[in-house]
Amino acid sequence: MPSSSKRHPRSSKRHPRSSKRHSRSPKKIIKSNVKSKLINFKGFPEFQPNLTPKQVLQLGSFGGTYFRDIHSTVTNKHYKGKTVIKEFPKNWFNGLDIDTMITSQKYDQKINKYGVKCGSSLDAWEDSGWIDKQDPYGWFQWYCRFYKGRRTDDDKRQIDRWLKLTGPKGRFKNRLLNMIKKKGSGKNDFTISPVIRQVLQHWAYKI
């Protein structure tokens, strides 16, 4: 072993530099063993997501772009993502590379828990009339604030949207359950519609 070290002095010197470059790469925490648990909100018994905002982010969501810098056509204002997220607890972002996993301007599907791309653009949501001026980023921003305790007149509309997607009769949730049943597989068979699973995760729900 000592003689081998003497024959390869350059390789030995290059290794530390390689290690440093590796340490600069974005940290990605994927908690595949996250235990989903129904969350209850007083006065809103029908709204029962099972992922907290922190869990949604930590699992890997939105291709790393949700809180990017945007110009809202609803408010006609510019928003800086790193400023927007200051209102949320810092521990929501523990271990995450903010530039690539939270405020990136470039969508990277590898960031996502299920490694797929899904969702519409902000422009599409604005054109559809789904964006309220109090939450120019959309539903997940509303959920983050609702989870923290804010209550507004827009809560019922946002909860209705959630119910239609992933409530007891939610179209995405039940489509996935039917696909699982048809295949005769289990809920943890992630080969069954990773796209729907990623969508549900963005809406704070895990089958």
Mean pLDDT (whole number) for 21-25: 39
| Confidence (pLDDT) at 34 | 75
Do 194 and 114 form a contact (C-beta atoms < 8 A)? yes
| Whole-structure pTM value | 0.84
Q: Is 60 exposed, middle or buried (0-12, 13-18, 19+ CB in 10 A)?
A: buried
Across all residues in the chain, what is the average pLDDT? Answer: 88
Angle at 21 between CA 115 and CA 103, to 5 degrees: 45
pLDDT value at position 33?
56
How far is the C-alpha of 157 from the C-alpha of 117, rounded, in Å? Answer: 26
Paired tokens of 44: 């809103």
Q: Which residue shows structure tokens 């921003």?
A: 141
Q: What is the pLDDT of residues 98-113, one digit of tens each?
A: 999 999 999 999 999 9
CA dihedral 129, 93, 159, 50 (to 10 degrees): 140
What pLDDT, in 10s, does the model give residues 51-89? 999 999 999 999 999 999 999 999 999 999 999 999 999
